[in-house]
Each structure stands twice: as structure tokens, then as C-alpha cells.
Structure 1
């Protein structure tokens, strides 16, 4: 089987899916969703643990701890974040399968649907976390969203654009008119 014959739009869409997965894994896995800084002490919080660093009277300290108990909404944020990662992984795998199965348009359509479903899962994850932000931090003047939160937002954007690129690929091929 030949593994060529796809447009640059398909290649760009596949690249964006891979980039989206990388951004999502870093975003969901790292403890940098929120950053707080006051008097030289820093507090980082992610979905899985909280880290602190700073210095007191010349002594440096840093460490991370896992969360003992988490509320249900926090479990939902974690769950939708992990589901987004899983859906992106399956979307990438189906896009690679499509490379070798040129005549099977349903494989590419599955990849498109999965990329949009991953974006929706990540939107739910980010929006619930942002909604509960003020419940987590009592003084919002010293806390702000950090890079891992932004990475998940970027993952939403890139997976949506990847789905659009693959829709363009489907619309370019007349053989896809009959599924």
C-alpha cells in the first residue's frame, strides 16, 4: 500500500494533532495551573499536586505534596483532562491509519470527530477549573493562572484547527462523497 497522496492540509492537521497532544499532556500533568507569589515564597498548584518554594532566614526550601482529598468538581476537571488526552491519542492513531488506508474515508471522519471531542473535553476541564478558581484562591491578587493552564487552552485551539484542516481534506477529495 502506498502511504502518500494526501494534501498538505492533512499533514498540517496531523502535525497539529500531535502538537495538541503534547501540549495537553504537559498541561494536565504538570503542577503549574496556578502560581502564587508573596514575600519570596511561591506556591504552584496543578491537578495532581501542590508545590512550594522559597527561603526563610537564608534557608531555601521546596517540595511537592499530592492532594489527600479533592472535591468532586476537581475530580471532574482531572477526568475530562485525561479523557481529552485519550481522545487526542486515538485521533492521532486513526489519522496514521488513514495514511495507509487511502480509500477509507470513515477513518478520517473518526479522527475529525475525536479531535473535536477532545477539544470539548478540554473546554469542560478548563472552564470548570476557571469557574472554581476563586474557591481555590482566597486572595486573587497574589495568584494567577500559570503556563500549564495556558497549554491546555492552546491544546483546545490546536485540536480544533486540526479538525478543521482534516475537514478541508475530506472536502477536497471527491471520493469521500460516498462513505
Structure 2
């Protein structure tokens, strides 16, 4: 009996041993490679006015003010006007001209050539209309890009587009300036309405600029001021060095 037990244990010891898998060593405090460093904690995007400098904040505010003035100037027909016998006898804007019939309270409004001997719209007037539309089209992307750089925490990541922002801001001031120059240079003023304005008993003014023309002057001045602030911020920052 004992021999059988010994032989059994001997045969068991002669059997091949299996290979055991040792548990892998636990990695402790081993840094993992970051596949997309753009989305780490330091570069997380958070839009806020606190991410920008004071000059860029001021430039954004100025662009909004300039845009509002430009919309009013292009939309309202009060660029120039004339007075006869202490009453406004006509007024005109980029899209429409109105005049008072026989100095009563009835106003007649229409296109530029409603009382002009030459049919069609003159070139200076068409130019102002085209510049008015272009100014509104340029203002929208200029405002969006300006807000982006004002509130984005990583402006240096978009350095190339920042120069595009400079160009758009400059154009928002250049277009209103051209409209003001062309309007004054091209408008026939007195000859626009060949009627006897002067009256010795009244202080008549055949041609005067109106509030929309003044708004247009402020629009290009404010836009150029915003452009100057952007350039100043760029030169003072590390990106301009």
C-alpha cells in the first residue's frame, strides 16, 4: 500500500509542470503621453473680456459705435438739405431725395433724377450708394473677428488672422471717408434745385450738411481710432516684438 502511494507520488512528480503567468508590475506615477495638447487644461478655450487688454476692449466698443452711426447714415435720407423762407425745402440721402412742393406741408420723395434735367443717376451718387453697401458688408466680419480676438484667451495661436482684422478695421474707416469726400466734391449744391432760394426777408440756406453727414464723419474717425488702438496693442505686446 505504501509502495503504491510512493509510486503515485513519484509519477505525479514526473509529470511536466505548467507555466504560470506572473502578474505584471503595476506602473506607478508613469506619465501618459498627450495626443492632443491643444485640449489640455492650459489651453482650454473660454471666451471672456477678461482675456484681452484694455486697448482691444476699447477698439471693440468703438467699432460697435461706428457701425451704429454707419447704419443710420446709410439708411436715413439726411445727408444734405436746403432751407427757404425759414423752412426746409428739400433734403437728400444716399437712397432718396425729398422736396417740399410750393413750400406747403406736402413732401414729394423719389430717386435722384426726379427733377433733374439729365436722366439717370450721376456717377458720384452711385459711388456713394455702392460704398454704403460695401461698408455694411465689411463691418459685420470686422466686428466678429474683433470680438474673437478681444475675448479669445490664445490670440497668438491665430496671429495670421489678426492682420486680416487690421485690414477690415481700416476699411471700415476708409469707406465712410470716401463717401464724405465724394459727396461734397460731387454734389451740385445750389444747382441741384434751380429755384430762387434767396429772400431778403429770410435767412435762406440753399445747401447745408445734415446730421447723417456728420454721423458719417464720426464713423470714419471712430473706426480709425479703433484701428490705431489695435496697432498700438500689437506693437506693445510680445507678438509685435
Taking structure 2 as the reference length, what is the TM-score of the superposition?
Answer: 0.65
How far apart, in 1, do the equivalents of 2:140 and 2:213 lie?
20
Look up the match of 1:65: 110
Q: Does 1:83 align with 2:127?
A: no
Q: Deviations over 1:107-140 (max 9, x none)?
A: 332222111122222222111110012x243279
User: For the pair shown, which has the larger CA radius of gyration, 1 or 2?
Assistant: 2
Q: Deviations over 1:52-83 (max 9, x none)?
A: 35885xx6323432335311221112112222
Q: Does 1:129 align with 2:183?
A: yes
Q: Normalized per residue, which structure has more strand?
A: 1
Look up the match of 2:164: 110
SS of the aligned residue for 2:91 comes to strand
**Structure 2 residues not aligned, in runs of 5+:** 1-44, 114-119, 192-196, 198-203
SS of the aligned residue for 1:86 comes to helix
Look up the match of 1:158: 222
Q: After the TM superposition, which residues 43-62 of structure 1 pair with which residues of structure 2 at under 5 Å, given as runs?
A: 43-53=90-100, 60-62=105-107
Look up the match of 1:148: 212
Stretch deviating more after TM superposition (108-117 or 28-37): 108-117
SS of the aligned residue for 1:87 comes to helix
The aligned length equals 174
Equivalent of 2:77 in 31, 51, 55: 31
**Structure 1 residues not aligned, in runs of 5+:** none
SS of the aligned residue for 1:2 comes to coil
Pick closer, same or farther for the CA change 1:136–1:142 going to 2, 3 Å.
Answer: closer
Taking structure 1 as the reference length, what is the TM-score of the superposition?
Answer: 0.85
Higher RCO structure, 1 or 2 (CA under 8 Å, sep 6+):
1
Runs of 4+ in 1 over 4 A off after TM superposition: 53-56
